[in-house]
Structure 1
Amino acid sequence: MTTVGRPAPAARPSTTGRGGRRRAEIAEAAAAILREEGPAGVSHRTVARRVGCSLSLTTYYFENLDELLGEAGRINIGLWASRAEAVAEAVEGAPPPTGRDEITALILRACLPEGDALLGHYLQLIASAGAAPVTSAYRTGRDRLNGAVARVLRQLEIDCPPELVIAVVDGAAVTALSEGRDVRRTAERLLQHVL
């Protein structure tokens, strides 16, 4: 049905089968670029180049850049929540650790990206403040991340809000990065003071 004076909305591309896989591949590439370069690095053109497909294919699956950025943001917050959920599952299936170092190591595993991608992670988080679709996706997915970190804290018998723990880790990371210090050691030391 069309409204007088307005064209009928275009049919959305298939999200199942081969079309769904291609759309997911494009979204995953956008999410990777977002993690590496921030929202400014994501465009239909850069994503098409990363995937090795035509520019028209990216615009077929994602009508505009906001839609593409929003999906990239949902993928990224999902990755971070999945990491924390994996830590929660591991601690829920084992006897609770008793040593301070082991406890803070588990919390850091739940809150920090693996490897050396820390600078890029925090740069893109800050840069995302100027991209409404990304901030909306991160805000919406935050409950899942908080829930996973809360599970870790509960198993470790730590009575502290997950938002506070994440804020301490993030603050320690930004401080350490800006001062050329080791992020994990700095976060570990601050966590031990707080917890």
Structure 2
Amino acid sequence: MFKDRVEAGQKLAEALEALGPFENPIVLALPRGGVPVGYEIARRLKAPLDVIIVRKLGAPFNEEFAIGALVEGEPERVVLNEEAIWRLGVGKEYLDAVVARERDELHRRQQRYRGTRTPLEHLAGKTVILVDDGIATGYTMKAALAAIREQNPAKIVVAVPVAPADVIPEMRRLADEVVVLEVPEPFWAVGAHYERFDQTSDEEVIDLLAKAKEA
């Protein structure tokens, strides 16, 4: 159990520091909740901080359940949970609509957080530390990993405070290293493992990105 995202980031930073040093590191956080975690890591490792914007594709009648994810890039990439789509009987019309809606939100966040700049153009040869406040189904993380891998980084490290045991083997397959502090059993939801799990605002994301640049 973590007090909040700041404490989770500090503990994760300690674990990563023990693994290092990392060659030419960059911390990429999934907004919005991954940014306070990533800020603490970037500060401790003295690495640049940026965001990689991924949008979960929610299921009909339960938007918290991921049937896939959309990740920024050229072109943008859609990763689908084909088994869940088949099991829930999700049709093409619904999929097209949810992708279009999340693409609009992805573009809004790109403009607010970075303007026209994209971090995916500058990852070749770097150690990318990919951070979120936790993993549930893993589809947003998988989408981010696919986009990052195409840019030929030297190494990808997935770092999260909490995740269910069943997603870790897939993360290990897609990344070079995986750091998870807590693997609770049973796993209910990421927020259940924080005392305070308020929604991170756009303003907080923008502020932390600016502070990281000044450090």
Structure with higher helix content: 1
* TM-score when normalising by structure 1: 0.28
Q: Please, what TM-score do these two structures have when normalized by structure 2?
A: 0.26
Which protein is richer in strand relative to its size? 2
Larger-gyration structure (1/2): 1
